[in-house]
Chains A and B, each alone.
Chain A
C-alpha cells in the first residue's frame, strides 16, 4: 500500500512524504522545495525509516531522524525532523 502526506511548513517549505508499506514501512520518499546540506542526508533519513513497525511512535521516529541529522552534521532549511515524522505518520493514516 502507499500513503502520501503533504504539508506546507509554517514559515518553512513544502514537504511531501510518500510511504510504501505492508506489515512494516517498506520505503519512504521525502520530496519538496526545502534545502538540506549535505543533500544526501535526505536519502539517509529515508533509509533509516525503512523497516519500522507501522505502530512506531512519532517521537521515536523523530528521534531517529534527528540522530541521522546529527550524525551527518546536516543542516535542514525549511523542514525539520518533527515535520518529517509527523508526515510519515499522516501518510500511514489509519493503517497504523
Chain B
C-alpha cells in the first residue's frame, strides 16, 4: 500500500474536520491514495465525540469568551481541547481492506506509530486500550477511529505544550470519570512532550513524521483540488452548523 503523506497544515476546527471527511470520500471512491496528514488548530478549538452532548461537555460561554471554536467529530471518544500551539494532530485515512479488521487491533497498530514517534524523542510511552497513549503514567495522546464506506479514519493528538488550566475551564469533566480513575484531580491525568525535554515544535513534528512513515512506501503530497472544494462544502454545510454540532 502506497501512502500519501500531507505535511503539517494549520486550519480552523471546521475545515480540519471537513478535510478529513473529504479525504475519506476520495479514498472510498478510489480517487485518492491512503493518506496520513498532520495539522494544528487555529483558532484553538474543542472537538467533541460523535456521541457526546455538546452542552454536557463544553462550557459554551467560556468558549465564546476565549474565541475557541467547538466542533463535533465524526469519530467517537471524548471532548478534546486543541490548543493552537499545544499539540499536533494526525489523521490516518485508508481502505479498511489494508488495515487490521479488528477495531482494537487497528488502534494498537496506529497508536504504535505514535509510541514510535515519541521514542524518536527518547520518550517511553505505551498504548493503553481503548484509545490512549500514556507516558510517565499520564495521557499524552488521545485517539479516535471510525469506519464508513469501507474506509478507516483514525485521528488523534499528541500533546506538546498543553494549557491545562484553559482546558479544564472549557471542558466539563464528569465526576464519575474522575472517581473511576482514583485520582485527586483531572490535572493529574495528562502530560505533554515538553514535560520530557526542551523540544521544539519542529523536533516533535520531525519525530512524528518519521514515526508515521518508517517502513512504509510513501510520498509527500497535498490535497487534490476536488478534496479542497469538497472540504469547503462540508465545512459550511455540516461542521459549522448547529444542526450538526448540537445534534445530540
Give the interface of A toward B (CB within 8 A).
Answer: 6-8, 10, 12-14, 16, 29-39, 42, 75, 77-78
Interface magnitude class on chain B: 20 to 34
Of the candidate stretches B3-11, B21-29, B45-53, B202-210, the one touching chain A is B45-53
Could you list 12 examples of A-B contacts with CB < 8 Å?
A14-B177, A31-B52, A31-B248, A32-B49, A33-B77, A35-B77, A35-B130, A35-B146, A37-B146, A37-B147, A39-B146, A77-B104
Q: Which residues of chain B have C-beta atoms less than 8 A from A10's C-beta?
A: 180
Give the interface of B toward A (CB within 8 A).
Answer: 49-53, 56, 75-79, 103-104, 130-131, 144-148, 174, 176-177, 179-180, 248
CA A78 to CA B177, docked complex, whole Å:
13
Q: Which residues of chain A have C-beta atoms less than 8 A from B180's C-beta?
A: 8, 10
Q: Which residues of chain A have C-beta atoms less than 8 A from B174's C-beta?
A: 6, 8, 14, 16
Q: Which residues of chain B have C-beta atoms less than 8 A from A29's C-beta?
A: 53, 248
Q: Once the chains bind, are B176 and A6 in contact (CB under 8 Å)?
A: yes
Number of residue pairs across A and B with beta carbons under 8 Å? 68
Q: Once the chains bind, are A39 and B50 in contact (CB under 8 Å)?
A: yes
Q: Once the chains bind, are B103 and A33 in contact (CB under 8 Å)?
A: no
Q: Which residues of chain A have C-beta atoms less than 8 A from B49's C-beta?
A: 32-33
**Given A12-B130, A14-B176, A16-B56; A34-B51 close (CB under 8 Å):** yes
Q: Once the chains bind, are B53 and A35 in contact (CB under 8 Å)?
A: no
Chain B residue nearest to A4 in the complex (CB) = B56
CA A32 to CA B180, docked complex, whole Å:
15
Residue with the highest number of chain B CB atoms closer than 10 Å, among A12, A31, A38: A31
Q: Which residues of chain A have C-beta atoms less than 8 A from B148's C-beta?
A: 38-39
**Given A31-B248, A32-B51; A13-B176 close (CB under 8 Å):** no
Q: Once the chains bind, are A16 and B53 in contact (CB under 8 Å)?
A: yes
Chain B residue nearest to A42 in the complex (CB) = B51
Q: Which residues of chain A have C-beta atoms less than 8 A from B147's C-beta?
A: 37-38
Q: Once the chains bind, are B146 and A8 in contact (CB under 8 Å)?
A: no
CA A42 to CA B177, docked complex, whole Å:
21
**Given A42-B51, A78-B130; A31-B76 close (CB under 8 Å):** no
Q: Which residues of chain B have C-beta atoms less than 8 A from A38's C-beta?
A: 147-148
Chain A residue nearest to B179 in the complex (CB) = A8
Query: Which of these, B51, B104, B146, B179, contacts A33 with CB under 8 Å?
Result: B51
Q: Which residues of chain B have C-beta atoms less than 8 A from A30's C-beta?
A: 51
Q: Once the chains bind, are A34 and B76 in contact (CB under 8 Å)?
A: yes
Q: Which residues of chain B have C-beta atoms less than 8 A from A35's C-beta?
A: 75-77, 103, 130-131, 144-146
Q: Once the chains bind, are A33 and B76 in contact (CB under 8 Å)?
A: yes
Query: Which of these, A8, A32, A75, contacts B103 with CB under 8 Å?
Result: A75
- A61 CB to closest chain B CB (Å) equals 19
Chain A residue nearest to B48 in the complex (CB) = A33
| Given A10-B180, A31-B52, A39-B146; 11 other pairs, CB 8 A cutoff | A6-B174, A13-B130, A30-B51, A31-B248, A32-B49, A33-B76, A33-B77, A33-B78, A35-B77, A37-B147, A39-B148
